[in-house]
Each structure stands twice: as structure tokens, then as C-alpha cells.
Chain A
Amino acid sequence: MRHSIVSLLLNAATGHRRWPRMWRDPEPRPHYEAIVVGGGGHGLATAYYLAKAHGVRDVAVLEKGWIGGGNVGRNTTIIRSNYLLPGNVSFYEASLRHWEGLERELNFNAMVSQRGVLNLYHSDAQRDAIVRRGNAMRLHGVDAELLDAHEVRRIAPFLAMDDARFPIRGGLLQPRGGTVRHDAVAWGYARAADRLGVDVIQQCELLGFEIERGRVVGVRTSRGRIGARRIGLACAGHSSQVAALAGLTLPIETHVLQAFVSEGVKPLIPGVITFGAGHFYVSQSDKGGLVFGGDLDGYNSYAQRGNLPTVEDVCESGVAMIPAMSRLRLLRSWGGRMDMTMDGSPIIDRTPIEGLYLNAGWCYGGFKATPASGWCFAHLLATGESHALARAYRLDRFATGHLIDEKGQGAHPNRQ
């Protein structure tokens, strides 16, 4: 059923009891033209664009758990393209352009809300860095506005503007940045891919690869063998485990990033605001809860939960930026598994095994990249060639020295 005001009214009249399934629950077939391992946002977007843009409809998405159960449903829902380095800025801007047309494209309400992303600065040095970033963005056709303290105060009067240690001097605003309802992205891509003939197979765990003379020919799963000569891995969080099944070692560590939601309050935060004097970012959901996060805990973890010192640190940063937050109660906190690469940038590339492709290492910036990641990975799977937007995201860049070190931290995944 196509979603429209008519379908909404009809289903409202019947008490919302007759909505059809959004996607089928198919048994895996013995062979597909292409398999995408991982039914998160990136995997589902890849399958959708394979079918939509490349006409490859004989595709299966294998998901160990359920759709929307991983990081696509655990992030803080921010979209933006305020990147600095070549290789990143064009990619993320392409992603933002996809977001702007996504709901029409998928016929699904993902609540894309371009409410603006504001990065604060607190010193002359930070202003210089933010001006450089804004100029780089504008040279790539991305919107960026430099605000002074007065303009920041007008947008967000609740900020601690005159803090003695970290006074807010201004900020860099990307008006087109914003938030998206994250699980609707997973559902929207799953539904749209399914309608194009893609088999979305849940509760199907990858157990191993079948590799003949250096070429992948199929996979072994908890639901039997499935043949395919083109296989894409999009299982960030567990990339190392899945790649190890093919004998590959990756430049990735898995870390835990915590996220938080406060109790609901009346509209307070107009967009997304990030602190310049600590690692903290906050937005407000349509239900009224403040959604915020900060640093990684710092140690390798697959636990999907962190420890209390990081909770304290994030909340301290929040209260330093918005003193009124001290009056709020924390409603929920949770953790996600982050595929942290050594330079903080992702990988979309071939592997040394023919027919096996890798989409990994999204660190904690994967959500905003979902459409462009799927778009570029589908291009790689369909043509065997890297998409121009993702040409810098090579697996061998760590050996050749072509790192994309946006944060300038070197080979420290825990500090990216």
C-alpha cells in the first residue's frame, strides 16, 4: 500500500487494524545476484539503491537480529555535512542532499527536520578553526554561517554565554543540518527495497564465507547456504568479526558510545547545538526529551552499555553549556557498538577477496551518512568500481598513508 493522506484516513477509519505488513518475511533462496550482510541503515540503503539505481533486484539483505535493532535505532539522529577535509565534505553533502528528498523517494515519513546544527566556539583559536571549516564547506557548496555571540544568544538564550572559563564567542551554523527519526529510516528503506523485490531476511546469522580460488561464491548462514558472487558487508559494530570469517584483519576497534534522553519538556532547544569546550551535543526530540551525547567511554566494548564515569562527564559538559539542564532528570541512557577506525573515517572498498566488498568503520558518524553510504556501496557492488564520492574511503589508505584524519588524532580509535 502506498502511504498517502487517503491511506492514512482509510486506516484511521478502521482503527489502524488493517495496515498491511511493510515488508515480506521471505525464506532465503539458494542463490542471489548480490547479498548484503547487515540489515542496518547502510545495508538496507545499499539494497534499495542496488535495486533502484542499478536494476539489481535479485538481492538479499541478511540480518542476524531484526530491522532497526542495531545502531540505526540507537544513534542521536543528527544529520549534517559540516566537514573539513577533501574526501569527506563532498560525500557528506551528497548524503544531506539525499536526506532532503528521502521521504518522497521512499514514500515514508522519516520526519526529516532541517532545524540547523550550531557548533559553538569559545576562543580566538577556535574561531579561526571554525572559520576555516566554514570556508571549506562554502567552497564545496555547503551552507555555513558564522555567528557572533549576539546572534548565538538570539537563537539560544539559555546557553551559558558568559562563563568565566569558556565564554561563548559565537558559532558556526549549518542551517540545513538537523535531525531525522532514525528507526523510520530503517523501516523506510526496508519497505522501499522490499517493494522493488529485495528479500529482507531477518534472524539469519552469517556463519562463514565460501571462497574458491580467491573469489567469494556464497555464504553459510544459520538458515542454510546461500550462493552469490557479489557480497557486501555492512555490519559496522561487528565488522571485525564478520571480516575475520573471511580471514581479514581490519584497522578497526569496537567501542561503546553512550547516548541519553532526558524527561520531556516544552520546546527549548531550537536545533542541534554542540559545545566547543567539551565533547557534548544536544537536540530536542518532538516528544520533548533532550537527546544528547558526548565522548566514547574509551575502552573496547561490545556490551552496548557503558559505565557511570562517562555519564557523569557528559552530563557535566551539558550543564556547563546549558545550566538549566541541571534541573532535568535523565530518562534513559544506552550504548551502541562503534566501528572505530584508526583515522576516524569510514571504509567503502573492495577487499583482497574477489567479489567481497566492505562498508565499515563509520565510527560514531554513520547515521548521517546512511543514504550516501548506501548509494556509493551499491555503485561499488553493481559496477565493481568505487563511486567518485567514496574514492578516498580505501581500505589500503592505512598502508599508503592517505589517511583522512578529520580530527587530527592519529592512530587512536578511542580518541577519534
Chain B
Amino acid sequence: MRIPCPFCGLRGHEEFVVDGDATVTRPAPGRPDAPTAAVRFVYLRDNPAGWHREWWFHAFGCERWIVVERDTVTHAVGRVWSAGDPAPGEDR
């Protein structure tokens, strides 16, 4: 599996550290449903068989966090972008 880092180009995935599902968002602490939303954020995952949006950290490269769209069934890598940016074509 090779990942096209937006800063370094195509690199083997062993240069990266993966940190899981990038679609869950931390709930604002003041929300009335914050406790249950926090459980969803910390523990519950859609765990799709197919395209999955994930955090990867280029530990042995540019040391930048990126978001990778990857197919969990075929290991095909799709779009990749910097974690600080919105997904291409999407508003934040």
C-alpha cells in the first residue's frame, strides 16, 4: 500500500502512522447531549466495508497529519489531503 502524501509524494505506508476514522468529530462540551455525543465520538464507529476516511501521520516524512480516503476491502487509496484543509470540493 502506497500513499500519495500531499507534501512528499508517493510513499510506502510504513512511513506513516494510522489513527483511525476521520469522520467522527469531538462534541462541544456545552452541548446538552454532550455525554452521549462523547461516547459516540470516543467509541462508536461506522466501520464501513468500502471507502473510509482516515487520519494518517507521516511520521518518517514531513511529520504532517493528512486525511486519506482508502477502500477497506481492496486497500485502494483514493483522495488525500492535508488535515488542516477541508476535503477537496467540500466546505468545512
- Residues of A at the B interface (CB closer than 8 Å) are 238, 240-241, 244, 249-254, 298-303, 307, 309, 342, 398-399, 411-414
Contacts and interface: CB of A to CB of B under 8 A. Distances in A.
A301 B19 CA distance: 13
Nearest to A298: B18
Contacts of A307: 1, 13-14, 75
Interface string B33-65: 000100110111111110010100000000000
Contact of B39 (A303, A399, A414): A399
A250 B47 contact: yes
A250 B72 contact: no
26 contacts: A240-B48, A241-B49, A244-B46, A249-B44, A249-B45, A250-B47, A251-B44, A252-B47, A253-B20, A253-B21, A253-B47, A254-B72, A299-B70, A299-B72, A300-B47, A300-B52, A302-B73, A303-B72, A307-B1, A307-B75, A398-B39, A398-B42, A399-B43, A412-B20, A414-B18, A414-B20
Contacts of B44: 249-251, 398
6 nearest CB pairs, A to B: A309-B14, A240-B47, A251-B43, A398-B43, A299-B18, A302-B49
Contacts of B32: none
Q: Is the interface of A mostly helix, strand, loop or mixed?
A: mixed
A314 to B, nearest CB: 13
Contact of A299 (B45, B49, B54): B54
B45 A303 contact: no
B12 interface: yes
Chain B interface bracket (under 10, 10 to 19, 20 to 34, 35 or more): 20 to 34
Nearest to A401: B39
A358 to B, nearest CB: 14
B20 A413 contact: yes
A68 to B, nearest CB: 22
A240 B40 CA distance: 14
Contacts of B75: 301, 303, 307
Interface string B1-31: 1000000000011100111110000000000
Contacts of B14: 307, 309
A296 to B, nearest CB: 10
Contacts of B13: 299, 307, 309
Nearest to B41: A411
Residue among B1, B36, B73 with the highest chain A CB neighbour number at 10 A? B1
